Structure formats: structure tokens, C-alpha cells
Amino acid sequence: MLIRVGNGAGFWGDNLDAPRLLAEQGALDYLTLEYLAELTLSILAHQRSRNPEAGFVADFLTVLESLIPALAAQPKLKIITNAGGMAPAVCARQTAAILSRSGLGNVRVAAVSGDDLLPRLDELIAAGEPFTNLDTGQPLGDVRAKIASANAYLGAEGIVAALGQEARIVITGRVADASLTVGPAVHALGWSWNDWDRLAAATVAGHLIECGAQVTGGMFSGWTPAHSLDNLGYPIAAISESGQFSITKPAGTGGRVSVATVSEQLVYEIGDPRHYLTPDVDADFSQVQLVQSGTDQVDVRGAKGNPAPPRLKVSMAYCDGYMASGTLVVCGDQAAAKARVCGEQILSRLETAGVTLQRTHIECLGTGDTLAGVWRRADDALEVVLRVSVHDASREAVERFVREFSPLVGSGPPGVTGYTGPRMKPYPVFAYWPTTVARDRLAPVVDVRGAADWGN
């Protein structure tokens, strides 16, 4: 027994055609679509506060429309996605509406929720959950009143329950990214929740494919102009009952799957490789080995698992004022020096006007400022991009900053251009507050219905 799990979206904003192409070309059992970065839920919470029909990743509905022919032609194909965001049930209902009007009203759709702790925050605090900041050790008290979202990372359990009730489309809120892959593996391969090494293997598989094309040649530091990234294939994990698996991509697509591309994705955004923690398992990546077993196919072995941690990670976001950044292009002799003058002039004019900003940052892009001081400078360029960014509690102060850019075209040094787009807008900042909660405080809530029964 072997299952093929393909991931067609690595983040909100990823290629809209990739899921359809992967479903058509990948001979998949499961298509996963991963949309939620650390702070995406705070943006979705903000959208939901303005519109009760929002709060999920609406890109998914566009993608779903494109997947209708594949769903009709491949009756065994199932989709698992965290597109539900802050509103899995709303997303499920709108998904069901699309299915019903496409002649797929018998397809069963699941909403998996239970991750949203915001409505229960005071109750959980009263029950003894301190929600101390995991990185800084600060107590929650400092930001409690400003919390905009608070979501626990659920594991694969709710996905497995939904698949067990014959859902073909499973829509979750926050679950650990790798659990999107662990879920179908546990469901289809008959594993137990204490098969730690197998759960760890599927977690490694999920980690490798969760960012889409990053494992198939995207972002690869061995890139040369000879490596075509056209028609980049999205990744597939072929997972066996024993937990052995390989990473591959559809034949005839661009990019590559090699030991080198898989190695780079294995190290992506990890901390201590001996303890990659998810709600499903404490996975040890440190002894993983990779073998090229075919063209664009890499076998992955050696993942080890230990019992799942007693506490779940919680991602909170709190409102923290406003930010804005703007750019101008500065050209000609002494471009870098002139750009710096422009940047300082913006800030000094604000000061004269009585506007003080909490944090400011000036970059002359093209001179080495992206990582200023680390790599060699290039101060002799004939054109640079000036980027000025600010952060302040007051929206009005940030608004005023935005207004200081256009005067520079006429009142700055010579060679200033590139101020042609619409005026940038201050945007609200949702600052990150990583914390934990005891796992017995919550459980996934699983709602599975035929598309026709979702109340449209």
C-alpha cells in the first residue's frame, strides 16, 4: 500500500494554476493546499470582523473552481486544506455551494475547527493557562487587551476523523502544516497514534512538501541560468505503510527533485532538528538520509519519533500600531549619497512638523543595505532604490509620513524618480505572540456533510 500526497499551494498567494496541474498530472490520492503563515490568521480575523462571510482564504474557492473537472474525473481524489482560517464552516459552506452547482452535490465536505481560543481566552486564563510568551518570557498581561487572534495548532486527529466519515474535501483552521500530510497517511495506511517513527516519517514528508515548489527547484541555491523554472512541478510524497517515502514531481514538469533540493527544504525554518514538535509527534530530523532513487525522485529514510508533546503551540497576534514604507528611485552621480539625504530629509521634515515616530529605518537598496554591514558595499551605483519604513502607535503620524514622499520629486536632490504608483497606505501591525496550551484543554470539532446539506 502506497499513497501519493501532492501539495499544490505553499502559502497564501502561491500560483493559482499549480493545484489543478498537480491534480491532473500527479496521479494523486490526496491533494493538500497549505495557506496559513504564522500571522495569516490575524489578517483573516481582521477581515471577519468587517464581514461575517469572510475570514478564510478566498483563493481556495478560485482554486476549487479549477479543480472541478479533476474531482469529477478522479472519484478517489481527496483535498485537504487549511484554507478555513478563522472560519472553516463558512469556507465549507461556500465550497459546498460551488460543488452543488457543478453537479457534485454528493461530495462530502468537512469543516475541522476547535483551534480558535480567542472566545475562550479568559476562561483558559482563569483555569491556569498563563500564555507566557515562549520567546521572551513576558506575561500575557502586557498585551491581553490587544489580542486580535489566538489559535492553537491542532494535529492530524480531526483530519483523520473527517476522512473516516468519508469526507472528500477537508477544510481546517489552524493545524500544524505537516499534519495535512500526516492525516491522510494515518487514515489510509492504518497507523496507530503511537507509531512514533511512522508519524515522524509522515511529518518529515509533510514538512518537505508543505512549501510547494521550494522542494522541486524553487529557491534552490544551486540555481544557474541553465535550470529552467518554467512550468515548475509541484511536489508529491509517495508514502508506504512502513513509513518509507519518496519525494517526486509529475513527469514532464520543470524544476528538479534532487538530494540537494530536498536537503535545502529539510532545513527550511527548523530549529533543533532533534525536536521538530507537532501535536502528532516529537520528530527527530537529525539522522534523516536522502538517496536519489530515480529521475526527480529522492528516497527519504531515518526519521525517528518520540511521544507527542503534552502542550500545543499557540499562535497569538496582538494589535501593535501601524506601519508604512515607501520607495523612490534615485539616479545619477552619487545616487546612494543622494538617496540617503532624501531619506533623512523625510524624517527631519516630520520632526520639524512635530511628528515623532517610534521606529524608523532607511535603506538604499542596491548598495548592500538589505543586509547592511554583512556583505560588501556597492556605493558607486548609478541608480538605487530608497526605501523608508516607519512604525508608530498613531495612525495619523504614519499617514503624515506617507505624505512626505512626493514633495521630494521637486524639492530633493536631482535624479529622483519612480514616484508614480498610488500612494502607499498605513497598515495595521499584528505582532506575533508565540505561546502554548495544555493539549487536554481542546479537541478538534469535526462537521462532515454532503455538499447539498451545507445549507446553501
Partner 1 sequence: MSTIRLAEIAHARSGDKGNHANVGVIAYTPAGFDFLGKYLTETRLAEYLLPLRPRQVERFEMPGILAYNFLLRDILAGGASRSLRTDNQGKVLSAAVLEMPIPAPPNLAEMQRKKDA
Is 208 a residue that touches partner 1 (CB under 8 A)? no
Is 273 a residue that touches partner 1 (CB under 8 A)? yes
- The interface mask with partner 1, positions 295-314, x = CB under 8 A, is -------x------------
Is 276 a residue that touches partner 1 (CB under 8 A)? no
Query: Do residues 284 and 273 touch, judged by C-beta distance below 8 A?
Result: yes
In the bound complex, what is the minimum distance in angstroms from residue 372's beta carbon to partner 1? Answer: 6
Is 270 a residue that touches partner 1 (CB under 8 A)? yes
Rounded CA gap, 8 and 235, in Å?
7
Rounded CA gap, 265 and 122, in Å?
39
- Piece of 24-32, 88-96, 213-221, 448-456 that binds partner 1 (CB under 8 A): 213-221
In the bound complex, what is the minimum distance in angstroms from residue 444's beta carbon to partner 1? Answer: 25
- Piece of 84-92, 105-113, 197-205, 370-378 that binds partner 1 (CB under 8 A): 370-378
In the bound complex, what is the minimum distance in angstroms from residue 323's beta carbon to partner 1? Answer: 7
Out of 66, 74, 286, 456, point to the residue binding partner 1 (CB under 8 A). Answer: 286
Rounded CA gap, 359 and 325, in Å?
12
In 28-107, DSSP assigns E strands to 30-33, 78-81
Residue 241 or 320: the one with the smaller Cβ distance to partner 1 is: 320
Query: Do residues 15 and 230 touch, judged by C-beta distance below 8 A?
Result: no
What proportions of the chain, in percent to the nearest 5, are helix, strand and coil? Answer: 35, 25, 40
Out of 66, 132, 334, 389, point to the residue binding partner 1 (CB under 8 A). Answer: 389
Rounded CA gap, 163 and 4, in Å?
15
For residue 431, give the C-alpha cell.
Answer: 505582532
Query: Do residues 441 and 435 touch, judged by C-beta distance below 8 A?
Result: no
Which one-letter DSSP state was computed for residue 154? Answer: B
In the bound complex, what is the minimum distance in angstroms from residue 315's beta carbon to partner 1? Answer: 9
- Piece of 5-13, 106-114, 196-204, 216-224 that binds partner 1 (CB under 8 A): 216-224
Residue 237, CA distances (Å) to 28, 63, 234 in order: 10, 21, 10
Strand, coil or helix: what is 77? coil
Applying CB under 8 A, what is the total number of residues that bind partner 1? 56
Cβ atoms within 10 A of the Cβ of 263, count?
14
Is 394 a residue that touches partner 1 (CB under 8 A)? no
Residue 56 or 322: the one with the smaller Cβ distance to partner 1 is: 322
In the bound complex, what is the minimum distance in angstroms from residue 431's beta carbon to partner 1? Answer: 5
CA atoms within 13 A on the CB side of 200: 26
- Beta bridge pairs of residue 133: none
- Piece of 177-185, 199-207, 304-312, 369-377 that binds partner 1 (CB under 8 A): 369-377
Rounded CA gap, 271 and 320, in Å?
27
Rounded CA gap, 295 and 298, in Å?
8
Residue 113 or 315: the one with the smaller Cβ distance to partner 1 is: 315
Is 378 a residue that touches partner 1 (CB under 8 A)? no
Q: DSSP H helical segments within 267-394, as ranges?
A: 335-352
Is 229 a residue that touches partner 1 (CB under 8 A)? no
Out of 227, 274, 377, 425, point to the residue binding partner 1 (CB under 8 A). Answer: 274
Out of 101, 227, 361, 425, point to the residue binding partner 1 (CB under 8 A). Answer: 361
Out of 117, 209, 239, 429, point to the residue binding partner 1 (CB under 8 A). Answer: 429
Is 232 a residue that touches partner 1 (CB under 8 A)? no
Contacts of 69 (CB under 8 A, 6+ apart): none
The footprint of partner 1 on residues 101-160 (CB under 8 A) is 135
Amino acid at 190: G
Contacts with partner 1, residue ranges (CB under 8 A): 37-39, 135, 219-222, 258-260, 263-274, 285-290, 302, 317, 320, 323, 325, 359-361, 363, 365, 369-376, 387, 389-391, 429-432, 434
